[in-house]
Structure 1
């Protein structure tokens, strides 16, 4: 098969690799029809995180089941499925409590399972990982593109909103205007927030935030952003979604959080410990909740809203490429020319 492979910083190549083959009675092989480039992929693309080279890339697959093991019960060949960015067994202690990202039998996409930015993937735990799309929606392209963000960014934005304690009638701030931050805005609106303040720096992205339900847009940075939000809200907000992962973003999040409030953080940490002052949390009794999002725990409820037409995160895809265009997709996201790239192998 053909797949995107990492060969080093800024070096993604689409090349021939071995087909992943079924090797477990609980596994499945899926032919990928839709996938994406994620903002977290840019860390290794920019050389700012370690990754083996060469190695297949991608972690947001959707496709058609081609083969299943004899013990698989939830899907069968021909089914349309999508998969969260972490593989989970669905039956261990942590999966049962909805923390699939801590699955004791868990795995990541990549290695010899094919990655997800390629033609095929192997899932070793089909029942615990794959989410089946009802047949009546399996070929509706608009619906499929709205479902694809549930593999990562929509579930992650939802995790931020849930952990920040967003509820009906609340006021919240979302720090970050990447795909996760934009989905955080959408999640906050879904949970009933009355006022949603989007903090970002890119006009085109903030336009999407407004489309998704942001009531206020803040384009200032650093201390100026903190002052602006606090002025608008007369002292800050009780619910903050941190969707970047940088120390500066966390400082903004704590700076706009009212004493006794909560920061829900989902930004992949990058230098988060470098100079981050915990005094703000301690002195103002600010709670910090979040982490890597167990998107499998949210997939079914979010899919139900997509299928009934009340949730559509697909506008985060601002560029579409085929498999050969994956290197171009990485470059576009790295250059801030795309919010998130949709890949149709």
Structure 2
């Protein structure tokens, strides 16, 4: 195996791991990308004790953001998603509420849950324009929209004047996962968090195309590849 830039990117766990400990290996694997992308969204959104959070998207990154937000002390996490098997997992990972509705109906539901205020933080983990519009609709005055869904558009539908008037911070972007590993790794090794639960299928490395097909078809949430 070749590790690019190993002096910086190869991280020792500091403990012996059994090849048969699939749950732990899966959780460690999430620290290379998916969980720490969710963590990045929560971190950039300034999630902390007493904060309320809405996570838009029930994919692996969205579910990781749910777990990350709870780890950082969020008081309430509303998960907006329509796929019951995924939102059920989201509840197990810490979501306090699930809103399957989308668009204006979904916005109204979240505002109803929060006494009309919206949430302090909205994590947008989809990347499509309707999700961004939805994020603007459910964030409270003075809140933060943190985006980690790769944008599938160029022009933002919400004008800067709209963000300015409500004092909304817009942040997010690609996750610098290496910067977060030392902080999160002890919680994985101790079993405090189990982010590897987003993996629901394992395939051999030579079936990588099938793994992408299964995820694209929503037959799998996240696929682990093994040599």
Q: Which residue of 2 aligns with 1:210?
A: 91
Deviation (angstroms), 1:164:
1.1
Q: Determine the C-alpha separation between the residues in 2 that align with 1:304 and 1:206.
A: 27
TM-score for both structures, normalised by structure 1: 0.63
Q: What do the CA deviations read for 1:182-238 (whole angstroms, capped 9, x no partner)?
A: 000000010111111001121111011101000000000111111110111022011
Does structure 2 conserve the Cα–Cα contact (< 8 Å) formed by 1:247 and 1:276?
no
TM-score with structure 2 setting the length: 0.94
- Asked if 2 retains the 8 angstrom alpha-carbon contact of 1:245 and 1:272, the reply is no
Cα deviation per residue 1:107-157 (whole Å; 9 max; x = unaligned)?
xxxxxxxxxxxxxx441x211112112242364432111110111111110
Q: Deviations over 1:289-341 (max 9, x none)?
A: 22111100101111111001101111111111112322221111111111111
Provide the C-alpha distance between the structure 2 equivalents of 1:131 and 1:261, rounded to a whole number of angstroms.
35
User: How do residues 88-237 of structure 1 correspond to structure 2 at under 5 angstroms?
Assistant: 121-123=2-4, 125-137=5-17, 139=19, 140-234=21-115, 235-237=117-119
Relative to structure 1, is the Cα distance of residues 266 and 329 closer, same or farther in structure 2, using a 3 angstrom cutoff?
A: same
The alignment partner of 2:191 has SS state of coil
Matches within 5 A, 1:79-90: none
Matched, 1:335 2:217: yes
Distance 1:184 1:272, change over 3 A: farther
Partners of 1:325 and 1:197 lie apart in 2 by 35
Q: Which has the higher helix share?
A: 2
| CA-atom RMSD in angstroms | 1.5
Taking the TM superposition and a 5 Å limit, the aligned residue runs for 1:28-43 are: 31=1
Q: Please say if residues 66 and 94 of structure 2, whose CA atoms lie closer than 8 Å, have aligned partners that are also in contact.
A: yes
Larger-Rg structure: 1
Q: Which structure ranks higher in relative contact order (CA pairs < 8 Å, sequence separation ≥ 6)?
A: 2
The size of the alignment, in residue pairs, is 225
Alpha-carbon distance between aligned partners in 2 of 1:291 and 1:329, rounded to the nearest angstrom: 25
The alignment status of 1:280 with 2:156, answered yes or no, reads: no
Q: What is the CA–CA distance in structure 1 between the aligned matches of 2:165 and 2:14, rounded to whole Å?
A: 50
More strand by share: 1
